[in-house]
């Protein structure tokens, strides 16, 4: 009786221990870009303290913090000597034109999401802002899935904030993400070898999506999606990964040992 009880208690802990403690979605600046940035050395110290390996994501492409070779080079130099991975969250589809392949090659990974979304009139809408109006939900989803497919067709390693829906559609998440819509993007991710991020901040994608993606042979990554606050807080990622039966082999970890 006692041994049975012990097995029940220990099994989940052992499974969780198998999963890599990695947070690949960390921004060193505040969300509003006004909060002082955290220095890479301080992020490295926090990473050591937490026992979670960090990947730092700069943001941009042809616009934003990173918008040319000089700004990308400065970011790479800033993080180079620290035991941190160097990533870039890209926006738009033209980033390869603004950043040299040599500098891009010095990044450990590139991530992209679909949250800067072109509305019907061609204007970009920022889906993460509260009170965003997207019109008819089904029509939005069809256009959103097609846009995500385009994002996933790029030479990137991580699909960030996957399956996120604007606040007003949140209550309908499970109904809107039909099996057909899920499968279209899961197939795109698998086909293009893009890891599907399990995002602690938005708590996406759903367990149903993760199970379906695992069955299709997808890989996953862990991300807190933190801006200074909440770095390395990946408990949600570990918990849902464990619930869905993911193991270390399912989780994307950059090849380079950080700091080398």
Binding site for Zn ion (CB under 5 A): 89
Q: How near is the Cβ of 182 to Zn ion at its closest, in Å?
A: 22
Residue with Cβ nearer Zn ion (242 or 254): 254
Give the residue with the Cβ less far from Zn ion, 23 or 250: 23
Between 89 and 148, whose beta carbon lies closer to Zn ion?
89
Least distance CB 181 / Zn ion (angstroms): 23
CB of 165 to Zn ion, least distance (A): 17
| Number of Cα atoms under 13 Å in the Cβ half of residue 159 | 30
Q: Which residue stretches of 86-157 are H helix?
A: 95-98, 101-104, 137-152
Q: Residue 235: CA atoms inside 13 Å, Cβ hemisphere, count? A: 3
Residue number, nearest CB to Zn ion: 89
Q: Which is nearer to Zn ion, 197 or 250 (CB)?
A: 197
Q: Reduced to 3 states, what is the DSSP secondary structure of residue 93? A: coil
The pair of structure tokens assigned to 4 is 């049975």
H-helix segments, the chain: 2-18, 40-50, 69-80, 95-98, 101-104, 137-152, 173-176, 179-191, 207-215, 235-243
Q: Which is nearer to Zn ion, 127 or 212 (CB)?
A: 127
Maximum distance among all Cα pairs of the chain, rounded to whole angstroms = 66
Nearest approach, Cβ of 14 to Zn ion (angstroms)? 32
The torsion region of residue 62 among left (phi > 0), alpha (psi -120 to 50) and beta comes to alpha
Residue 111 beta carbon to Zn ion: minimum distance, rounded to whole angstroms? 7
Tell the smallest beta-carbon distance from residue 143 to Zn ion (Å). Answer: 22
Nearer to Zn ion by C-beta: 198 or 214? 198
b/e map 126-142, b = 16+ CB within 10 Å: ebbeeebebeebeebbe
């Amino acid at each position: 009786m006692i041994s049975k009880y012990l097995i029940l208690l220990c099994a989940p802990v052992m499974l969780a221990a198998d999963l890599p403690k990695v947070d690949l979605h960390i921004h060193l600046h505040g969300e509003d870009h006004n909060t002082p940035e955290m220095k890479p050395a301080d992020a490295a110290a926090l990473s050591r303290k937490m026992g979670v390996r960090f990947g730092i994501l700069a943001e941009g492409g042809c616009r934003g913090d990173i918008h040319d070779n000089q700004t990308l080079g400065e970011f790479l130099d800033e993080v180079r000597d620290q035991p941190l991975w160097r990533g870039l969250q890209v926006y738009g589809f033209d980033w390869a034109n603004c950043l040299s392949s040599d500098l891009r090659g010095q990044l450990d990974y590139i991530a992209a999401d679909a949250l800067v979304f072109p509305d019907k009139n061609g204007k970009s809408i920022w889906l993460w802002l509260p009170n965003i109006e997207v019109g008819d939900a089904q029509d939005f989803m069809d256009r959103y899935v097609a846009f995500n497919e385009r994002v996933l067709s790029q030479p990137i390693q991580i699909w960030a904030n996957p399956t996120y829906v604007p606040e007003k559609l949140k209550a309908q998440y499970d109904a809107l993400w039909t099996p057909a819509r899920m499968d279209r993007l899961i197939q795109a991710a698998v086909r293009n070898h893009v890891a599907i991020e399990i995002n602690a901040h938005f708590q996406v994608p759903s367990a149903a999506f993760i199970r379906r993606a695992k069955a299709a042979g997808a890989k996953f990554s862990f991300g807190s999606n933190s801006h200074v606050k909440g770095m390395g807080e990946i408990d949600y990622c570990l918990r849902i990964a464990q619930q869905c039966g993911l193991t270390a082999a399912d989780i994307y970890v950059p090849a380079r040992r950080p700091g080398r």
